[in-house]
A and B are shown apart, each in its own frame.
Chain A
Amino acid sequence: MAIGLHDSQVKNPVLRWVDQRLPVITMIQKEYGTFPTPRNFNYFWNFGALAMINLMIMIATGIFLAMHYQPNTAMAFESVERIMRDVNYGWLIRYVHMNGASMFFIVVYIHIFRGLYYGSYKAPRELLWMLGVVIFLLMMATAFMGYVLPWGQMSLWGAVVITNLFSAFPVVGDFIVTLLWGGFSVDNPTLNRFFALHYLLPFMIVGVVFLHVAALHITGSNNPLGVEPKGPQDTIPFHPYYTIKDTVGIVVYLMVFAALVFFAPNYLGHPDNYIPANPLSTPAHIVPEWYFLPYYAILRAVPDKLGGVILMFSSILVWFALPWLDTSKVRSMNFRPVARMFFFLWCVSFVVLMYCGGKPAEEPYVTVSRIATAYYFAYFLVVLPLLGRFEKPMPLPESISRAVLGIKAMGAGPLPGGAATAKPMEKA
């Protein structure tokens, strides 16, 4: 772009003055107004926007909770109870924050499922996908540290177990654990720094989300057919079509969220976390929050300390390599009947691991976890690399408009904001 004032098209003189010097209005119009988007999105494509909304809800509620929370072992538990009982609407803000974490993982798991099923990780969207994995890792770290803050029994012992994972690494393990703790056990320094990091990480997530969206707007969105748009007949402007479609999704999402907050606010939590932390007694049955259960099951499936930790971390790190492990050129599983079966089986293994992770470490859960873990990795490391070579995918449609409209697509697509000027081709 040339140096000098931006050639703004904004009509309002004041806004144009701003836009000429800092073309944010032009940018929003380009990226969220006329942005050409595949015309065939289904509701799975709502979940990116939902995750964005959820992140904002978490940051807003979190900032207001931080105004009342005390990151000190002597006061943390009581300050949370004070939020629940004394602070005006503190119960509401805390329950929204607490269940917001669960909602965030529900939304993001569906978002990831969408990416896996429709092959959104494949070229040219590899980096977009990898940035998504980074966001997920940051989310996990943030959620874990947030769960420690109320300083209940599960907070303390969850922190003990998770930080001890790092002790499995040879040579540097003990050094890392002491560094995390800031002492010789999970205690006040640990809580204090976890609070600082829990406040910091969401803003790092915002940063990576920005990169994720920036990368998305270079390659454009994938779509349920997995066929790239070939021209204007295959796309529609983001606004009003997908702003409205996202709004429908947001309304449904908020209804589910509100139902959880108002009718079952503690359903997804663990009652033991309402017992103040006691470093002298471990609860009989320690489980992480539901969204960590699959990885916890993988950890326990391995009878070796270091092996379990490595396998657990690998279960997510393997996602980074996924764009290269999946050798098939066809993106959408809609056209890969064999891969689709294996993928659904992978989803089953994920749910089975989630179930087993919440059960005690005894038979039959250990054996079941082992089988599910084996399949979890086999899908990425064996099935996907080989299938690309041997599978015979179904024929792909020539273009999005042809598949969607069912007639020979010709001429231009609807003009931006041109719903009123309905073209005869829009519905046949």
Chain B
Amino acid sequence: MADTATKPSVPTAAIDAGKRDFLTLTATAFAAVGVGAIVWPFIASMNPARDVLALASTEVDLTPITAGMAVTVLWRGKPVFVRHRTAEEITAARAVPMSELKDPATDQSRVRRDPWLVVVGVCTHLGCVPLGQRPTDVRGDYNGWFCPCHGSHYDGAARIRRGPAPLNLPVPDYTFMSPTQIRIG
């Protein structure tokens, strides 16, 4: 920095300025990469841990669920509604014209096997659990589910019909292991 030269000539000063810019930019770039590399593990540590992911699937035995009956199972900490629908319920769900639906979806697209409706029982408005699973519950104006928090009505295919919720109750990933057994997740 402090050379014996008392007055640096212009070209030297220009070269020095260029070198300084290069050093500043490379140092800043490396610092940014370093900060990113440090922040990454901290953020990642807040994502689901391996033991949480290992519990991400739930199996349900369908044999005890008779027609007209519904059960609620826990999957990833959330309720999943499994309903054994009667023939009338299926017909009613399929008779609804698409134009009446807020989030249009056919009943066929929401089931794997006709009598069995499997949906995540979390209202798509703000996350409450809708009523309608127990025989004594209010089932709303469309004979499906009714969310008491803010008054969303779902129909027999768990599609949103009225109220503030924007979407149908989502269908989780599930497969039939056998005609009487499903695995969710």
Contact = CB atoms under 8 A, between A and B. Distances in A.
Interface of A: 60, 64, 67-68, 82, 85-90, 92-93, 419-420, 422-424, 426-427
A60 B42 contact: yes
B136 interface: no
Interface stretch (B47-55, B89-97, B116-124, B142-150): B47-55
Given A82-B51, A85-B50, A86-B51, A426 B45 contact: no
B47 A426 contact: no
B41 interface: yes
B88 interface: no
B138 to A, nearest CB: 39
Contacts of B44: 88-89
Interface of B: 1-3, 6, 40-42, 44-47, 49-52
A82 B49 CA distance: 9
A98 B111 CA distance: 52
B1 A88 contact: no
Nearest to A254: B34
Nearest to A423: B2
A93 B45 contact: yes
Residue from the set A64, A88, A92, A426 with the largest chain B CB neighbour count within 10 Å: A88
A408 B155 CA distance: 94
Contacts of A419: 1
A422 B51 CA distance: 62
A87 B2 contact: no
Given A424-B6, A426-B2, A427-B2, A89 B41 contact: yes
A73 to B, nearest CB: 20
A87 B41 contact: no
B50 A86 contact: yes
B67 to A, nearest CB: 42
15 contacts: A64-B45, A67-B46, A82-B51, A86-B49, A87-B45, A87-B49, A87-B50, A88-B41, A88-B50, A89-B41, A89-B45, A90-B45, A90-B49, A422-B2, A424-B6
The 7 A-B residue pairs whose C-beta atoms are closest, nearest first, are A89-B41, A422-B2, A88-B44, A86-B50, A86-B49, A86-B51, A426-B2
Contact of B45 (A67, A420, A422, A424): A67
Contacts of B46: 64, 67
Given A60-B42, A64-B42, A88 B3 contact: no
Given A67-B46, A422-B3, A93 B51 contact: no
A86 B45 CA distance: 10
Contacts of B40: 89
Given A64-B42, A88-B47, A93-B45, 20 more contacts: A67-B45, A67-B46, A68-B45, A68-B49, A85-B50, A86-B49, A87-B45, A87-B49, A88-B45, A88-B49, A88-B50, A89-B44, A89-B45, A90-B45, A90-B49, A92-B41, A420-B1, A422-B2, A423-B2, A424-B6
A410 to B, nearest CB: 17
Contacts of A60: 42
A68 to B, nearest CB: 8
A64 B50 CA distance: 17
A405 to B, nearest CB: 12
A419 B8 CA distance: 13
Nearest to A426: B2
Contacts of B41: 88-89, 92-93
Contacts of A86: 49-52
B69 to A, nearest CB: 37
Nearest to A63: B42
A82 B45 CA distance: 12
A92 B38 CA distance: 10
Contact of B42 (A93, A420, A422): A93
Residue from the set A87, A90, A426, A427 with the largest chain B CB neighbour count within 10 Å: A87
Residue from the set B2, B3, B51, B52 with the largest chain A CB neighbour count within 10 Å: B2
A93 to B, nearest CB: 6
A247 to B, nearest CB: 9
A366 to B, nearest CB: 46
Contacts of A89: 40-42, 44-45
B71 to A, nearest CB: 30
Contact of B1 (A85, A90, A422, A424): A422
B39 to A, nearest CB: 10
Contacts of A64: 42, 45-46
A420 B44 CA distance: 44
A89 B52 CA distance: 15
Nearest to A421: B2
